[in-house]
């Protein structure tokens, strides 16, 4: 037998330009001076390995202090779902989400954290932070 049957196995992988940033919407926040912290969590974030197409599953936490706008939640769900078949490194995903949401909301601060489920004996946690003061 020449090589194993998995050597050439690969699933379809979408490119990063399939991430649907256009679906993101903001809504007004009426208390910009309040230093309110907003936290969104989901255990259903998925993307795929850019080399194999195998799925990566993560608990994703988005926390931020808004200025004058919030992300509209339905649009956030659609945006996050658009990652489902995108080949992106785990460490890159948190930075991409951070950049897209900071561009939309211009928050005071924002942190994106992803805790990926164990695969191949390794569990990954990645986080990216933004601070308007820095």
Provide the annotated active-site residues.
49, 56
Rg (CA), the chain: 17
**Alpha-carbon distance 75 to 128, whole Å?**
21
| Spatial separation of the C-alpha atoms in residues 33 and 25, rounded to whole Å | 21
Strand partners, 61: 41, 113
DSSP for residue 86:
B
Q: Which helix (H) or strand (E) holds 43?
A: strand 38-48
**SS3 label, residue 75:** helix
């Amino acid at each position: 037998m020449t090589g194993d049957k998995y050597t050439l196995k690969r699933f379809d992988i979408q490119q990063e330009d399939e991430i649907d940033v256009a679906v993101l919407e903001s809504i007004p926040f009426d208390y910009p001076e309040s230093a309110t912290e907003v936290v969104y969590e989901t255990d259903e974030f998925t993307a795929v390995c850019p080399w194999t197409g195998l799925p990566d599953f993560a608990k994703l936490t988005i926390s931020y202090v808004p200025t004058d706008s919030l992300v509209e939640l339905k649009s956030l769900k659609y945006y996050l779902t658009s990652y489902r078949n995108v080949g992106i490194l785990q460490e890159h995903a948190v930075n991409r989400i951070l950049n897209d949401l900071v561009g939309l909301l211009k928050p005071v601060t924002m942190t994106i954290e992803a805790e990926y489920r164990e695969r191949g004996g390794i569990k990954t946690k990645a986080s990216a932070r933004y601070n308007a003061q820095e």
